[in-house]
Chains A and B, each alone.
Chain A
Amino acid sequence: MKLWASTLRLAGRSLRRNPLRSALTSLGVIVGVAAVIAMVSVGQGARARLQEQLASVGSNIVMVFPGATSSSGSRAGWGTAAPLTVADARAVERHVPGLRGVSYFRRGVVQVQGGGQSWSTTLWGVPESFSRVRDWPVRLGAFLLRSQDDAGAKVVVLGATVAEKLFGVGQDPVGAEIRVKDVPFRVIGVLEGKGQTVWGRDQDDAVFIPFTTAERKVLGAKRIGNVDMIRLGLVSSEDEAMVVDELTQLFRQRRRVQPEEDDDFAIRTMSEMSRAAEGSAEDMSNLLLAIASISLVVGGIGIMNVLLVAVSERTREIGIRMAVGARRRHILMQFLCEAVVLSGVGGVVGVVLGIVVSILISRLSDWPTLISPTAIVGACLFSGAVGVFFGYYPARKASRLDPIDALHHE
């Protein structure tokens, strides 16, 4: 395979003859490949983080909201439909099988003071089932009890962030007193850290008090028993469709929705929400990939441009080669080889650069990145293909030269 070896050597030599030009030409491909790899890593990292966050919300969860998405697609405002109530939650508990718990909450932003610090956070009024439904264990102390909810006790469980802000890292605040909206509460527990939600909110920046206490003593209520949302934990995800059906029937009946009317409540399942979130994450990755691919194509055009210049500069050389017996195929291969070497070297350097950039992104910003072997292999193959595709036209042009004209070219 002397012809192959010498063709490759020749390509290397003619590229080294113009190192700056070769480097600049490869740069297009380098940037393209690096961009593809970095973008895919960012996209993959974002997806991995998303999955983690979705898992942190708890699996097998179904949520019921007041207000509805009509069949025409427009969403009625929160205020237009009657709110859900604690009684609705109790009815779900009684009538819907296959649940491991029913929870509900009311939420509000409050100022809390304790440990000599003051902090603004989200207050959740929740029943004792909350921790079970959310699959959210306690790190210190205990979660709220049914009896405390019934009695409207002034006890509080702190989210990890709040515990840290008020009492400092590694301190045990159980038994301490804090003031919530100037009402004194006794700390009975601290939850494990859960991290950010899919929407970037810190879930641990929260305090939890019994639902009854919240509506009566802290948040106030237009009508006792109104809740923001009802949240159910399923025993098994296989029951999801059945539970959704049951819930729909139950709520239509309880809220006296006429058969021809749309629901005035909405039921969302966690699997549905993760599908939506994953779908948009996937769209995002594809978009990034498409943008990065454009730079690869631009790099390919650069290769084509440089090869066209090379063909016209080296017309005489082509003529000499033809005169001594090079066939069209030989000339074609020679220039294609140069294109592939240019794009191949660009591809390899681009992979390295892409990995470096991915690592830098995750170090310097808080973006997680996940370097994908598929993207590396894909980018290399694609850059080779770019070389062949954009090298073909100039190479063919060279191979179709007339030997006599080529020999006499100045």
Chain B
Amino acid sequence: MVESPHVVRAANLERVYGQGDVAVHALQGVDLLVESGEYIAIMGPSGCGKSTLLNVLGCLDRPTCGTYELDGRDVSRLDPDERATVRNETLGFVFQDFHLLARTTAVENVELPLIYGPVAPDQQRRRALAALARVGLAGREAHTPRELSGGQQQRVAIARALVTEPALLLADEPTGNLDSETSSEILALLDELHQKGLTILLVTHDAEVGARAQRLIRMRDGRVVEDTGAAPA
């Protein structure tokens, strides 16, 4: 596969829910180019389509039409299992409410993507521990989510997203459930990861969070209305 400078190359993405009169056009022709190493924030009011876009970019959902190349590969027409493999190998997710498995230790949570992936079993624990160390949680690997603070839980989630060394990290309101102090810790961690070369795309309606990003995209009614740093096509 030819190495593409663009992690994301999406053109004319549309996503329609339902049919006929009740059809909802959540995305109405979104074009997006993301270069490797960018840090992008998508903002917009509720219902503007930013979550739908994140789902489509995250291969959790399929665009109704349009094309989407992720890391040089056309992923817009994959079946559910193929999308699962893409999510496993190419993407990392961070969610607003962490989405960790309860009653499961931090290191087992971080290992979770690895057991579904190609990493050899004897390497999994080592990589999971390394990822926890990267987010500053060395020594907490045996704790379950209930024994960790909100900020620590989100760090575990970030470690889980990083453990497969994804081409793109997707974050959906990663600080939405955290107090301001913890939020800034998490944002600092994202900054740090970005500086080390990670490509990050996050969705937020918090202007402060959006301001940390290198590039800001605003959406309204399923369209991109502002893009501060669109890479030249």
Contacts and interface: CB of A to CB of B under 8 A. Distances in A.
User: Chain A contact residues (Cβ within 8 angstroms of B): what range?
Assistant: 20 to 34
A328 interface: yes
A326 B89 CA distance: 11
B80 interface: yes
B95 A325 contact: no
Contact of A327 (B60, B85, B113, B121): B85
B76 interface: no
A329 B60 contact: no
A325 B103 contact: no
Considering residues B60, B81, B93, B160, which has the most beta carbons from chain A within 10 angstroms of its beta carbon?
B60
Nearest to B172: A407
A346 to B, nearest CB: 24
Given A3-B115, A324-B93, A324-B112, A407 B81 contact: no
A2 B81 contact: no
Contact of B95 (A2, A17, A327, A407): A407
Given A320-B99, A324-B116, A325-B85, A2 B121 contact: yes
A328 B116 CA distance: 11
Contact of B87 (A6, A324, A330): A324
Given A316-B99, A317-B101, A330-B116, A403 B60 contact: yes
B49 to A, nearest CB: 14
B81 A323 contact: no
Interface in A317-352: 317, 319-330
A322 B67 CA distance: 23
A45 B80 CA distance: 55
Nearest to B83: A403
Contact of B84 (A3, A317, A322): A322
B119 to A, nearest CB: 9
A404 interface: yes
Contacts of A403: 60
Interface in A388-410: 403-404, 407
A113 to B, nearest CB: 82
A404 B116 CA distance: 19
Nearest to B116: A325
A316 to B, nearest CB: 7
B69 to A, nearest CB: 19
Given A321-B112, A327-B85, A407 B103 contact: no
Contacts of A329: 81
A349 B117 CA distance: 36
B169 to A, nearest CB: 13
B124 A323 contact: no
Interface string B158-177: 00100010000000000000
9 contacts: A17-B103, A320-B100, A321-B116, A323-B58, A324-B160, A325-B87, A325-B117, A404-B55, A407-B95
Interface of B: 55, 58, 60-61, 80-81, 84-85, 87-89, 93, 95, 99-101, 103, 112-113, 115-117, 121, 124, 160, 164
In order of increasing CB-CB distance, the 6 nearest A-B pairs are: A325-B88, A2-B121, A324-B113, A325-B116, A327-B84, A327-B81
